[in-house]
Structure 1
Amino acid sequence: MIGIERAYGRRRTLSIVWWQAGINVLIGVYLFLETSTNPYGSQRGAGIVILALLLGRAVLVLLYRQRGGTIVGAQGISARNAVRTATRTWHDVYDIRAELNPSGRTENAEWTTYVYDSDGRRMRLPYFDDWQLPDFHAELAGLRAASALHRGVAWELRPEVEDRILRRARDRKVWGMVCIAAFIALFAAFVLLA
């Protein structure tokens, strides 16, 4: 079928949160100077680990900006991130949805697009948002119309899949709260025991 092959990549530059980048650079410079000039070996380990984490994060951001994208073809849809590529065939795709981005993780985008499969799992489509695409909602409607021919079934809501999607969303929120509580408890224990 013709008209389904599409690739979505970075079209507009993403704004950098300059204060966050500045703090990361200052922490990196401080840790580099601290680990290279500190004569006490016991304090070097933590500085080296934190410096490696900051450098790893910077490399992942650069790789994502160069490599990230969404590829649509007759076989399915793929989301390519910094390191891995996730693919869903059209028979596995339950829905393609645009959702409001409450946390602002993709910086300027108000809408983020996700592909849901029949198990309720979701996959974010990189650079398929309203910041990168000038007519985002029309492009999404065009993608849904073109992919409906390859799916073999109409875009219809199934209650059992919707329940799985809601359950997975609830589980993500619970795990996020558990991780935040664990971090606060660890930090409090570190402060109180130090």
Structure 2
Amino acid sequence: MGGDGIEREYRRRRQLSVPWWQLGIDVLVFGAIVVQTATVSPPFPAGRWFNIVILVLIPARGALALLYRRRGRTIVGARGIAARDAVRTVDRAWHDIYDIRAELNTRGVENAEWITYVYDGDGRRTRLPYFDDWQLPDFHAELAGLRAVSAQHRGMDWELRPEVEDRIRRRARDRKVSAAVLVTAMVAAAAAFVVMA
């Protein structure tokens, strides 16, 4: 930690528990697709390509999870906050940061109850890896301390601006709509494959 107390790095401290049932399902699906691709000729040509895509996506998902465990971290310094995930790093300078917020984890696929996002003035959010109540024993105190120390680097206090709050709400609504469209498209694609088979 630097002399001004802003230099911090948050990385994995505790193991994330992967549900065994989820891992088991992934292995069973992967194995079934391998067997089907190797032994059974699909009734339509797109079936083999579908299997090949799935055979690539499942290991890619595992590789990204392993890279995230190794590379993922949140780095805080005098210049701003950097959020590093499996393959990219998002840097936010202090003057571009609108807010740092803890939000309830609604996805429920992780151990953390609270996860942290940094918002910019356009309402875009970036998740801060490993800055959560699963990795940090006194999470809320750590967040309050970070906000207090970083206020001097921002040059202003943390205050809400109605126009940015509207953008944040609009982006949250757009994320929900996009997720619903994606789920609908996946269900429709699965139904089409079942009907074509």
TM-score bracket relative to the smaller structure? over 0.9
CA displacement at 1:2 relative to structure 2: 1.4
Structure 2 SS opposite 1:148: helix
Separation of aligned partners in 1, 2:49 and 2:104: 41
SS, match of residue 95 in structure 2: coil
Cα distance in 2 between the residues matched to 1:31 and 1:44: 10
- The Cα offsets for residues 140-178 of structure 1, whole Å up to 9 and x where unpaired, read as 001001110100011011111111111111111111111
Work out the CA distance in 2 between the residues paired with 1:40 and 1:192.
Answer: 17
Cα RMSD (Å) of the superposition? Answer: 1.7
Following TM superposition, by how much is the alpha carbon of 1:133 offset from its aligned partner in structure 2, in angstroms? 0.1
Corresponding position of 1:166:
169
Question: C-alpha displacement at 1:184, in angstroms?
Answer: 2.2
> Does 1:90 pair with 2:94?
yes
**Counterpart in 2 of 1:69?**
73
Deviation (angstroms), 1:40:
4.1
Counting matched residue pairs gives 192
Structure 1 residues 147 and 99: CA distance shift in structure 2, 3 A: same
Q: Which residue of 2 aligns with 1:150?
A: 153
Separation in structure 2 between the aligned mates of residue 174 and residue 13 of structure 1, nearest angstrom: 33
Aligned residue among 116, 121, 126 for 1:118: 121
Change (3 A) 1:180 1:32: closer
With the length of structure 2 as denominator, give the TM-score of the two structures: 0.91
Letter of the 2:9 partner, please give it: A
Q: CA deviation at 1:120?
A: 0.4
Corresponding position of 2:6: 4
2: CA distance, partners of 1:153 / 1:70: 22
Deviations 1:55-104 (A, max 9, x none): 10110010001110100011000110000000100000000000111121
Task: Tell me the distance in 2 between the aligned counterparts of 1:57 and 1:181.
Answer: 21
Unaligned runs of at least 5 residues, structure 2: none
Deviation at 1:44, TM superposition (A): 4.4
Residue matched to 1:51: 55
Q: Which residue of 2 aligns with 1:128?
A: 131
The Cα of 1:15 is off from its aligned counterpart by 0.5
Q: Which amino acid aligns with 1:31?
A: I
TM-score normalised by length of structure 1: 0.92
**Whole-Å separation in 1 of the counterparts to 2:40 and 2:195:** 27
Q: 1:178 to 1:55 in 2, by over 3 A?
A: same
Please give the per-residue CA displacement for 1:30-69, whole angstroms capped at 9, x wherever unaligned: 3334444x27485644333211111101100100011101
The answer for unaligned runs of 5 or more in structure 1 is none
1:145 maps to a residue whose letter is: A
Q: What is residue 16 of structure 1 aligned with on the other side? A: 18
Aligned to 2:29: 27
Identity fraction in percent = 66
Q: Kindly indicate whether residue 184 of structure 2 is the aligned counterpart of residue 184 of structure 1.
A: no
- Following superposition, the deviation at residue 185 of structure 1 comes to 2.3
